[in-house]
Amino acid sequence: MRRTTHALSLAAPLATAALLLSGCGVLPGQAAQVDLAAFTPTAEVRDPSTQIDGVVGEVFENPQHVGPDQRVAYTSTPPIGGAHDQAWAACSGVVYPRPLRSENAVHSLEHGAVWITYDPDEVDGAALDALIARVEGQPYMLLSPYPGQGSPVSLQSWGHQLALDDADDPRIDQFVAALRQNRYTHPEPGASCDEIGQGYFDRDAPPPFAPTPGASEVDGDAVVAQ
């Protein structure tokens, strides 16, 4: 596993968008679509998130499943990949009012979802409403609070993370465009984000959140390595 920081300039995609806007008479309402087109994955540019300032990444190989009573010692907060519960968190535009168990949410990332989290001590009111509007009812998206995550807002996709201070930061839409259901960047293209059902993961009564155990707590049974 390795962790790298993508700090490439946005100049190229933004310049391209500017040329399209000036040369083709794009209507104001279409400007955002033109901007986001630069972040759509293609066979030639498989991971457009490398063009987004602040995105960090990690590579995960052969992630294992853990049981509902096991924990994973993740190295990112919130986590972005690695071992995870056999049941995924419903991620079909679900807004969770309470923090999620990370092991279930990471399985959602494996299916191609984008998990937006916020620190409930720093984000509320209009800022929280803005995040809800981006997620609610949208395919392969989920939103939940994550206490003490280290930034007001954080975006997670499999192997990718972007920490932000502002719930209206334009990089949110860029991250989603680049990585949601990006078949080049997550292990299970086409896997479901629908609720798996009671007995596995109940979206109305999900497993409780608990702080991630430290690496020193790994024992191979109750706590496994990422």
Counting as low any pLDDT under 50, the low residues of the chain are 1-23, 27, 29
pLDDT of residue 121: 98
Q: Pairing relation of β-strands 114-118 and 153-157? A: antiparallel
Closest CA to 134 of 28, 32, 6: 32
pLDDT at site 2 = 40
**How confident is the model over 154-185, as pLDDT tens digits?**
999 999 999 999 999 999 999 999 999 999 99
pLDDT of residue 141: 99
Domain ranges of the chain: 3-7+46-225
How far apart (Å, rounded) are the C-alpha atoms in residues 203 and 68? 15
